[in-house]
């Protein structure tokens, strides 16, 4: 990377698209990695990007994608686990970043997609609209391997790097305000059943 360029932050990262970024993420998953999708548009685009058996789709429990992912990562230390969250959701449970940093799970990656708004409830601004910076917050919590994706190419490189090395890793992405392109299944028991079969914990 050109050392003369300013460091990538929320102010100069390219504004990307959630569904496009989610498809790029899913395309990098070659090892039956588990993905925990946060509620709302995050999940909707994960669902539409292809219903892998190792995907878990929350319905409610806003803010718990990272904690659920940490639990899976502890139970299955040889499987890579990705938590996908929106900005409003992660802001609701920021303390979990300190817990994850304290546990240092080698197999956990967090991806936060930040459109600076509670988009699904009408676009009310979140704190990131006023300057809160997820990568600075993550580093302050103790997650040293934290970075903003400058653009789609860098996002793919960050995902490859996170899946290849020992984590935890934290990737932040600026996204636009396009709604999710579909919706998930709404049957929680079926979601649990598929996910556990996908993780090999249910025959």
Element (H, E) at 110: strand 108-114
Q: Which of 74, 165, 176, 179 binds another protein (CB under 8 A)?
A: 74
Binding of residue 14 to another protein (CB under 8 A): no
Complex with another protein: residue 16 or 199, whichever CB lies closer: 199
Binds another protein by CB under 8 A, chosen from 15, 59, 129, 144: 59
| HEC readout, 19-81 | HHHHHHHHHCCCCCCEEEECCCHHHHHHHHCCCCCCEEECCCCCCCHHHHHHHHHHHCCCCCE
Q: In terms of Cα–Cα distance, which of 178, 149, 188 is closest to 61?
A: 188
Which residue from 36, 49, 91, 163 is in contact with another protein, where contact means CB under 8 A? 36
Sheet holding 169-174, edge to edge: 55-57, 34-37, 81-86, 108-114, 169-174, 146-148
Phi, psi of 3 (to 5 degrees): -70, -15
192 near another protein, judged by CB under 8 A: yes
14, 98, 136, 145: which one contacts another protein (CB under 8 A)?
98
Asked if 31 interacts with another protein (CB under 8 A), we say: no
Of the pair 14, 76, the CB lying nearest another protein is at 76
**Does the footprint of another protein cover residue 196 (CB under 8 A)?**
yes
Q: Does residue number 58 form part of the binding site for another protein (CB under 8 A)?
A: yes
Binds another protein (CB under 8 A): choice among 16, 25, 49, 68 = 68
- Looking at the Cβ atoms of 100 and 159, the one nearer to another protein is 100
Q: Minimal distance in Å, beta carbon 198 to another protein?
A: 10
Binding segment for another protein (CB under 8 A), chosen from 18-26, 94-102, 109-117, 146-154, is 94-102
Q: Are strands 81-86 and 117-118 parallel, antiparallel or unpaired?
A: unpaired
Is residue 189 exposed (0-12), middle (13-18) or buried (19+ Cβ within 10 Å)? Answer: exposed
Per the omega criterion (within 30 degrees of 0), is the bond before 168 cis? yes
Binding site residues, another protein, CB under 8 A: 34, 36, 56, 58-64, 66-76, 79, 93, 95-96, 98-99, 102-103, 188-189, 191-192, 195-196, 199-201
């Amino acid at each position: 990377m050109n050392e003369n360029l300013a460091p990538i932050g929320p102010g100069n990262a390219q504004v990307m698209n959630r569904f496009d970024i989610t498809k790029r993420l899913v395309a990098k998953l070659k090892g039956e990695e588990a993905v925990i999708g946060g509620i709302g548009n995050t999940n909707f685009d994960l669902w539409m990007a292809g219903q892998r058996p190792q995907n878990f789709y929350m319905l409610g429990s806003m803010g718990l994608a990272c904690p659920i992912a940490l639990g899976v990562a502890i139970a299955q230390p040889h499987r890579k686990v990705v938590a996908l969250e929106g900005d409003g959701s992660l802001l609701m449970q920021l303390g979990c970043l300190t817990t994850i940093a304290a546990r240092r799970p080698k197999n956990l990656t967090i991806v936060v997609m930040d459109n600076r708004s509670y988009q699904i409830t009408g676009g009310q601004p979140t704190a990131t609209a006023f300057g809160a910076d997820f990568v600075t917050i993550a580093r302050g919590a103790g997650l040293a391997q934290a970075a903003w994706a400058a653009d789609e190419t860098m996002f793919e490189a960050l995902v490859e790097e996170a899946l290849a090395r020992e984590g935890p890793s934290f990737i932040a992405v600026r996204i636009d305000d396009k709604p999710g392109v579909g919706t998930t299944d709404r049957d929680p028991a079926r979601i649990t059943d598929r996910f556990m079969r996908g993780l090999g914990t249910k025959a």
